[in-house]
Amino acid sequence: MPDKSPSLADIEVVAPNFNRRYSGVTSTIIRLVSLQAKMVNIVGTGPNLPGEVPQISIPRLLRLAVTAPAVRPFRIWHARRNIEMLAGLLLKHVLRSPMKLVFTSAAQRHHSAYTQLLIRQMDAVI
């Protein structure tokens, strides 16, 4: 995946997409990251993101995780799936990354106990 993104120090928001299949969540990430990149230094990460989406590779993400951005003392990790919340928690608590974790829930059903556990550990829920 080629990196089409701002410099590491300038990245403010990371929107992960860890689903290999193309889904409704994936299409939302693709569209919103492309639009939001005009207003904020946001990147996507994960497989199968098209070239027009500003993105960062997983190795660069790990380098990014240990530094604070230039404009504020933290970055925002915007998760939409359980695996993405878990990855954000690992970055924040294991790698001690200066991250605020945000979860967007569009579920039209009840969340499982595991999902509820993850959600309780987020800094914000949309």
114 assigned to some structural domain: yes
Number of domains present in the structure of the chain: 1
pLDDT score, position 32: 87
Name the strands in the sheet holding 13-16, side by side, starting at the edge strand that comes first in the sequence.
Answer: 42-45, 13-16, 75-79, 99-103, 124-125
pLDDT score, position 1: 46
Contact (Cβ atoms closer than 8 angstroms) between residue 93 and residue 121: no
72 assigned to some structural domain: yes
Token representation of residue 103: 């979860």
Each of the 126 residues of the chain gets a pLDDT tens digit; together they read 454 567 888 999 999 999 877 777 778 888 888 889 899 999 999 888 888 899 999 999 999 888 888 888 999 999 999 999 999 999 999 999 999 999 998 877 889 999 999 999 999 999
Instruction: Give the helix/strand (H/E) hosting 78.
Output: strand 75-79
pLDDT score, position 79: 95
Range of the domain at 18: 8-125
Residue type, 122: M
Contact (Cβ atoms closer than 8 angstroms) between residue 43 and residue 11: yes
Please compute, for residue 71, the number of CA atoms within 13 A of its CA located in the half-sphere on the CB side: 12
17 assigned to some structural domain: yes
3 assigned to some structural domain: no
Instruction: Give the CATH number, domain containing residue 113.
Output: 3.40.50
pLDDT score, position 48: 82
Number of H helices, E strands in the chain: 4, 5
2 assigned to some structural domain: no
62 assigned to some structural domain: yes
pLDDT score, position 49: 86
Among residues 12, 9, 44, the alpha carbon closest in space to that of 25 is found at 44
